[in-house]
Chain A
Amino acid sequence: DAGVIQSPRHEVTEMGQEVTLRCKPISGHNSLFWYRQTMMRGLELLIYFNNNVPIDDSGMPEDRFSAKMPNASFSTLKIQPSEPRDSAVYFCASSGVFEQYFGPGTRLTVT
């Protein structure tokens, strides 16, 4: 199995631009999680889906962030407009039963 796949691996954009991060979970996993990791705040859960349905989005920082999961094999996290404080590593993880498997992450830099 290829594991969780994320793209792009690195993204550099200017403030105000739209950013879309993509995730392909492990086949057969029914839960998908989006995390953000920074030095200051650590690893934060942004949103998670179960069977493609958003269950808890209380971690989404503000309306500029949105996430979708149109099918079991694809999810996106969108930031519009982006701001410098959004700079972080964004991880996607998927889970079958208990353990979560993380993708390699997307390092986002907003200048």
Chain B
Amino acid sequence: QQPVQSPQAVILREGEDAVINCSSSKALYSVHWYRQKHGEAPVFLMILLKGGEQKGHEKISASFNEKKQQSSLYLTASQLSYSGTYFCGTVYSGAGSYQLTFGKGTKLSVIP
């Protein structure tokens, strides 16, 4: 079953912040975040493992709430280069294999 991402789309002006959420109905082992620009392949941003850590990459960070089976991606002071579709990919606890199930994506558009 796919994780659910929200919002489906968001438009920001440069410098604004955004939060993208990813929720699962099944227990999660890990959450992965990817960004895909139009016509290109998805690019790995970060992974959050069971254990509740928060990670950061420049002005992009993420958290993982095990109790709620949710992850959130935070984009701070957005730049034009942040535009693209963001996907969360989940690995379920006890799945027995390390395969990702991707959400439908959140399209982020940053305008000047």
Given A91-B41, A101-B44, A102-B43, residue A45 in contact with residue B101 (CB < 8 A): yes
Q: How far is the CA of A99 from the CA of B91 in the complex (A)?
A: 12
CB < 8 Å neighbour of A45 from B32, B43, B100, B105: B100
Contact A42 B47 (CB under 8 A): no
Given A91-B42, A99-B32, residue A56 in contact with residue B100 (CB < 8 A): no
Q: How far is the CA of A95 from the CA of B103 in the complex (A)?
A: 19
Q: Interface residues of B, CB < 8 Å — how many?
A: 21
Q: Which of A42, A55, A105 has the most CB of B within 10 A?
A: A42
Q: Give the residues in chain A near B101, CB-CB below 8 Å.
A: 45
CB distance from B80 to the nearest CB of A (A): 23
Q: How far is the CA of A105 from the CA of B87 in the complex (A)?
A: 17
Contact A43 B47 (CB under 8 A): no
Q: Interface residues of A, CB < 8 Å — how many?
A: 20
Q: Considering the complex, which residues of chain B in the window 1-47 have a beta carbon less than 8 Å from any beta carbon of chain A?
A: 2, 30, 32, 40-44, 47
Given A98-B30, A99-B32, residue A45 in contact with residue B44 (CB < 8 A): no
CB < 8 Å neighbour of A102 from B41, B98, B104: B41
The dominant DSSP class at the A interface is: strand
CB distance from A35 to the nearest CB of B (A): 8
Q: Give the residues in chain A near B2, CB-CB below 8 Å.
A: 42
Contact A33 B99 (CB under 8 A): yes
Q: Considering the complex, which residues of chain A in the window 15-49 have a beta carbon less than 8 Å from any beta carbon of chain B?
A: 31, 33, 42-45, 48
Contact A102 B42 (CB under 8 A): yes
- Which residues of B pack against A, CB within 8 Å? 2, 30, 32, 40-44, 47, 49, 87, 89, 97-105
A-B contact pairs, 14 of them (CB 8 A): A31-B98, A42-B102, A43-B87, A44-B102, A48-B97, A55-B97, A55-B99, A56-B97, A91-B41, A98-B32, A98-B47, A100-B100, A102-B41, A104-B41
